[in-house]
Structure formats: structure tokens, C-alpha cells
Amino acid sequence: MPTNFFAQIPNAITAVRLVLAFLFPFLPESWHLGVIAIALLSEFLDGFVARLLKAESYLGQVFDPIADKVFFFSVALTWTLMEKLSLTQCALLGARDIGVILVALGIAVTGHARRVKSIKAQFLSKLATTLQYLVMGCILFDVLKPVSILISLTAITGCIAVAQYIYLLRKSAHHKGA
């Protein structure tokens, strides 16, 4: 078992992404590539380091996707204000994140939060995140031809990922109730 210090390294890596999310709207546009590259690196490193150090935790399972969503919306909303993305494109890119937030709010409002355990990220959700970063890369490098198709793929993948999470949550709730 890792010492307490080492156990916190993955969450510290995730925290970097959260700090970058809050800074992003205020940074010069020339910094966007570097900041997104660091965020992408932290996206992969936090889980890798957690597994390497055997420091996976419930906090990490909850904190990581929150940092992902905050960072994504920070970039998307900043770029919408800069007119690099339309509001519709922003919403489509964030379909999975919006869906997950709505599901989480629904669970909280209905009082089922204690019955729900965390669900590990599924392949479709990871694919939606990958597609989001791919769109960011296309915009950063001014490769705009595939952006509309990638945004559509991201929205479709994101919606299917939300449906998968709802299914897994319902299945988990039924097993607990049985």
C-alpha cells in the first residue's frame, strides 16, 4: 500500500487539469495549445499513475471526470466566446457531459445518491473524450474540414455513453435492491 503522500499524486495530477480549466479563459490564445497539451497529458497520467502506485481511490474516480468536464467546458465556452465554436457546436461537443451532469442531478434530486456507487469510465465515454480533444486539436491547428463530422461523432458517441451509464446505474440499483 502506498504511503499517504504517494496515494495523493494521481489526485494532484488531476488537480492540475482543474487549475488549468480556471485559468484557460484568461490566458493568451498563443498559450492554448500548450495548456490543452498539458491537460491531455494529465488526463492520461492521473489514471496511469494511480494504477502504477496502486493508489486508485473513490475520490479519484469522482474527481477525474469532474476535472474533465470543467476543463472541457472552460475551453468550449472560451472558444464559443471567441467565435471559434458556435453555441450549437459547443452543446453538441458537450452532449455526454451535459447528459452525465443531468443524470447526476436527477440522482441527487430523487434522493438516490446513497444507493449509487461510482461507475468506472466506459469505453464509449473515453472515446467521447478522445473525440473532444481531437476537435480541439483540429481547431488549434486550423484543420476545419473534419470538425463538423467529428462534432457529430462526438455528440452521438456521448449520447450513447450517457445511455450506457443510465443502464449501468439502473442495473446497479436493481442488484442492490434485490
Lowest mean pLDDT among 16-20, 57-61, 66-70: 57-61
pLDDT at 162: 94
pLDDT at 175: 66
Whether 167 has a pLDDT exceeding 60, the answer reads yes
Q: Which of 103, 105, 104, 107 is nearest to 115 (CA)?
A: 107
Whether 34 has a pLDDT exceeding 70, the answer reads yes
Q: What is the mean pLDDT of residues 63-71?
A: 90
Q: Which of 4, 6, 33 is nearest to 20 (CA)?
A: 33
How far is Cα of residue 174 from the mean position of the Cα atoms in its chain? 27
Q: What is the mean pLDDT of residues 128-154?
A: 95
For the chain, what are the domain ranges? Answer: 1-84, 86-178
How sure is the predictor about 1, in pLDDT bands with cuts at 50, 70 and 90? very low
Whether 155 has a pLDDT exceeding 60, the answer reads yes
Q: Which of 151, 131, 156, 160 is nearest to 80 (CA)?
A: 151
Q: What is the mean pLDDT of residues 115-130?
A: 83
pTM listed for this prediction: 0.86
Q: What H or E segment, with its residue span, contains residue 91? A: helix 87-93
**pLDDT tens, residue by residue, 70-115:** 999 999 999 999 999 999 999 999 999 999 889 888 888 887 767 7
How sure is the predictor about 18, in pLDDT bands with cuts at 50, 70 and 90? very high
Q: Which of 155, 172, 160 is nearest to 88 (CA)?
A: 155
